[in-house]
Amino acid sequence: MMTGQGPYGPPPYGGQPWHAAPHHYAPQPTGYEFNPQEEVTIERVGKNARRWGVASMVGGGLSLLLGGAVVALAFTVHEALFHTVGILGGALVLIGIPPLATGWSYYAAGRALRAVHTSRGDDVSHVLRALRGLTTGFQIEAIVLGLTLALMIALKVAVHALQSGMRL
């Protein structure tokens, strides 16, 4: 023994500090590995995010295709109906774009979460990549929903104002 105080004595002066654990035992600031239970939760979220992403992309894609078809139809109908059918087709195309974008974001997030389960050594960066994807999806959804709500409220106010004016 260096200090002559037995194995339970205070740490010796100098040398390696007592709290410096061997490298492979020390918690690392990066390279955190989730335990199997946590990985199951993450994998489940990833699977459902991918499912929802695919569903959104299919919905958006169908709306986009239908809108394109209606716009094409607008050129074949009578001139009086051209604007009505064209606007309907354009609206369907516009409605289809946000679900495509959010669907892709959620799908990418789901893939990143699956990578946590399937790979080792970079779990935190995969989770952060997934969260960036989810955030992008939330941003697009929030902006579209905000605009939709503003439009709905404006329409309700306009209808209410018209009804009040008619009563007068």
Q: Is 8 in the site for other proteins (CB under 8 A)?
A: yes
Sign of the torsion angle spanned by Cα atoms 91, 92, 93, 97: positive
Does position 66 bind other proteins by CB under 8 A? no
Interaction of residue 10 with other proteins, rule CB under 8 A: yes
Residues binding other proteins: what is the number (CB under 8 A)?
40
Using CB under 8 A as the binding rule, whether residue 155 contacts other proteins is answered as no
Distance CA 44, CA 52 (A): 12
Return d(Cα 59, Cα 96) in angstroms, integer: 7
The answer to whether 83 contacts other proteins (rule: CB under 8 A) is no
Q: Looking at 3, 38, 87, 160, which residue binds other proteins (CB under 8 A)?
A: 38
Per-residue burial over 124-135, b if 16 or more Cβ lie within 10 Å, else e, is eebbebbeebbe
Q: Would you say 34 or 71 has its CB closer to other proteins?
A: 34
Name the token pair of 76. 């074949």
6: left (phi > 0), else alpha (psi -120 to 50), else beta? left
Applying CB under 8 A, the residues found at the interface with other proteins are 5-6, 8-10, 21-22, 25, 27, 29, 32-34, 38, 41-42, 44-45, 48-49, 51-52, 55, 106, 124, 127-128, 131-132, 134-135, 138-139, 141-142, 145-146, 148-149, 152
